[in-house]
Amino acid sequence: MSLSGCYRGYKSTQTIYYIYTIFFFNRVSLLQCEDPSGYRPEEEKEFMDILEERRRSSDLGHALRTFTPSPYKGAPPLSAGALNRKVLESQYLRYITKEVRCTGESVDLVREEASGILEEMSQNLQLGFIRLLGFTLSKVFKRLFSHINVNQEGLNRLQQAIQESPVILMPNHRSYVDFLVLSYILFTYDLPIPVIAAGIPLMDMKMVGEILRRSGAFFIRRAIGSDKLYWAVLSEYVKTIVRTGYAPVEFYVEGLRSRTLKSLTPKLGMMHMVLEPFFKGEVYDIKLVPISISYDRVLEESLLAHELLGVPKPRETTMGLLKARRVLEEDYGSMHVYFGMPLSVRQLTKGRVDRCEYNLLPRYTTTASALSLSVSLSLSLCLSVSLSLCLSVSLCLSVSLCLSLAVFLCPPIEQLPENQVMASSMALHRSVIRCHRGRVTLLEEEEGPVGAGPFTTEEGVVRRARAVLMVAAYRNQALHVFIRPAMLALAVHTTQGSRREDIYSSFRFLLDLFSNDFIFITGRSSQDFEEACSLLRKCGAVQTSQQEVTSPEEGQSTTSFLRALLQPFIDAYQVVFSHLCVEDVAVFTERQMVPAVRSLATKLLLSGELKSYEALSSDTQKNVLSALLRLGAVTRLRTLVHLNVVHLNLVHFSGFSGRLPVQTAPNPRL
């Protein structure tokens, strides 16, 4: 029996990816914004600033107050030690220890190794450390943020969901602050503290690692590979927490922080683990809670931009954290945390999976009066003002589009004077922009370190790119709202003629091409097209009939704005295409490709043939390669030394490059 054998009986990857896309699809439904229960997410506008009370009362009193959360009612009381013993004594882990032992190695030695893995990994949640963290974070958050806005109704729904079923908290991941603020919010509102999947580097931080462990973090190695015993211990640990309802489980489906602040393609390993108890009939239901976290300004903005330009990520250390205390002197504006509608796995998978192999009675019973939960694709998000949107187009136009999309802007800037919004944004982002003689410009590092001397023209490109990528990240937080309308606007602009069928074909190609940069549901291109048509028709940007889609003159400002949002990605893709075709590249490794493409982009930027500095982003370049692999334009080979080598299939590549012309200078029409 292999580890994958535990997923027989249902199409695990397809099903889990379906569930993921249902609730983690960071966008607003354009056609259907109601679920069967009548819940309308766009009407929920009651947000509270949790720091307001902290500024008026004692932080120590807040940390030491009575903490009485209501846990899952089917959960037996368990200590962290008892939970670990339950894992080690499980039938599954006993079987695996017998299967993976080497020839001549005793089962006891393997079990001892499994115990060591569990000891390294497991959390040791203690209320005293939660109180310590609560006191510390109150001080830190009041220095960093002006507001932390949370939707009250979302917390009420979460409280009810926690009492009914095991709950999985699934936030997006934009900053190291993410998991700290969620635990802080739950502690503040007397909700059970979650256990949190964290990377092993955090464990190695002196003192900090132990504080995090005792605050609910459990640590996972980044490179597990084919270590069956480690996989078995990790999966059984997670499944035991879910089965017993020990605590809500929190993890990031994206895996790593998004360096671009866009949503990332999901990593499904942890999803397999948390959902298996339901598919095996060990729990009656599981509730998935999507959580959107957005920032007016991200603490790591400069670090993320440098990483995208090839600077290695610094190792997490306690000393590095102490040196970073200067961030407390900066203003990071507001944070916005939206707790979405809890989604029932039982409802989402009804009629979609085969559970015949696990036709067992539920071990734990819950009431049949579960909430009628949304299975639509809508998730209304609390969006902060996107600085780059404000700077690139009229603020009034971007706000108007957001309101047309039923997006709730926080704060409600449509009620504020335009100059006030702009002044506030510029003051907040003074590290990257400045206003000089009535003109807003990017603030670049004009001087290097003391004694470094003047920098070269290539270094100047990198300095400007750093500023551009920092600003672009805030645009990316809102891109999911605009991406389908933008693709329709681009399809209308580039398609010869106005036949609806031809425009849909171009739209579908764009969905296909950019599906590594944006999250789309496979097989849903027709619905996406209709939703995009509906939105742009509502805005007056397009006119549609059964046969045609056209853009009237009065809608040109809207479609031009939407196309401009996609232009940096188009430019980046075309630079990679140019490198592969014009430079006559045949065989290369991914490690060779990124600096080679960056070198070509730098030359094009210096010559003026390329305007978009985002073409230097390593994440976008890797997404282009993934898209070409998926579309069959290149093939991946494996050498004897296990290097991933990519071979360009010129014949297949030319088959679709004509849809998006490949040339050294980006096509001005695109």
pLDDT higher than 50, residue 439: yes
Dist CA 170 CA 187 (whole Å): 17
Rounded to 5 degrees, φ, ψ at 448 are: -85, -165
What pLDDT digit, counting tens, does each position of 330-351 carry? 888 889 898 988 989 898 888 7
CA 354 to chain centre: 30
pLDDT higher than 90, residue 130: yes
**CA-wise closest residue to 514 among 265, 259, 309:** 265
Average pLDDT over residues 375-395: 37
Sort 65 into a burial class: Cβ within 10 Å, 0-12 / 13-18 / 19+: middle
For residue 411, is the peptide bond before it cis, meaning its omega torsion is within 30 degrees of 0?
yes
Measured at the CA of 349, the angle between CA 173 and CA 23, to 5 degrees, comes to 25
Instruction: Kindly state the DSSP code that residue 325 receives in the 8-state scheme.
Output: G
What pLDDT digit, counting tens, does each position of 613-639 carry? 999 999 999 999 888 888 877 777 765
Q: What is the pLDDT of residue 479?
A: 83
Q: What is the pLDDT of residue 66?
A: 92
Q: What is the pLDDT of residue 408?
A: 61
Rounded alpha-carbon distances, angstroms, from residue 668 to 517, 563, 609, 615: 22, 12, 10, 16
**CA-wise closest residue to 62 among 191, 176, 188, 155:** 188
Q: Are strands 334-339 and 147-151 parallel, antiparallel or unpaired?
A: parallel
Dist CA 499 CA 520 (whole Å): 24
Q: What is the pLDDT of residue 422?
A: 73
pLDDT higher than 50, residue 385: no
Q: What is the pLDDT of residue 458?
A: 84
Average pLDDT over residues 81-97: 90
Average pLDDT over residues 205-229: 85
pLDDT higher than 50, residue 67: yes
Q: Are strands 433-436 and 439-442 parallel, antiparallel or unpaired?
A: antiparallel
Sequence-distant (≥ 6) Cβ neighbours of residue 61 within 8 angstroms: none
What pLDDT digit, counting tens, does each position of 227-280 carry? 889 999 999 999 999 999 999 999 988 888 888 888 887 777 888 899 899 988
Catalogue all structural domains in the chain, each as residue range(s) with its CATH number.
12-21+396-559 (no CATH), 50-67+74-296+328-392 (3.40.1130), 569-652 (1.10.10.2260)
What pLDDT digit, counting tens, does each position of 574-591 carry? 898 888 876 666 677 778
Average pLDDT over residues 75-86: 88
What pLDDT digit, counting tens, does each position of 1-15 carry? 333 333 333 344 545
Question: SS3 for 70-135, per residue?
Answer: CCCCCCCCCCHHHHHHHHHCCHHHHHHHHHHCCCCCCHHHHHHHHHHHHHHHCCCCCHHHHHHHHH
pLDDT higher than 90, residue 169: yes
pLDDT higher than 50, residue 24: no
Q: What is the pLDDT of residue 362?
A: 35
Least confident of 56-70, 280-294, 428-442, 517-531: 428-442
- Structure-model confidence comparison of residues 428 and 163, the more confident one: 163
Q: What is the pLDDT of residue 350?
A: 80
Average pLDDT over residues 57-79: 88
Q: How confident is the model at residue 365 (pLDDT cuts 50, 70, 90)?
A: very low
pTM of the model: 0.82
Dist CA 644 CA 649 (whole Å): 16
Q: What is the pLDDT of residue 202?
A: 83
Q: What is the pLDDT of residue 644?
A: 37
Average pLDDT over residues 360-381: 29
pLDDT higher than 50, residue 539: yes
Q: What is the pLDDT of residue 102?
A: 62
Tell me the average pLDDT of the chain.
77
Q: How confident is the model at residue 418 (pLDDT cuts 50, 70, 90)?
A: low
Per the CB < 8 A criterion, the answer to whether 557 and 539 are in contact is no
Q: What type of residue is 525?
A: S
Average pLDDT over residues 477-483: 83
Q: What type of residue is 582?
A: V
Average pLDDT over residues 100-109: 72
Q: What is the pLDDT of residue 318?
A: 66
Average pLDDT over residues 291-313: 88
Q: What is the pLDDT of residue 383?
A: 39
Q: What type of residue is 455?
A: F
Q: What is the pLDDT of residue 667?
A: 36
Least confident of 49-53, 97-101, 535-539: 97-101
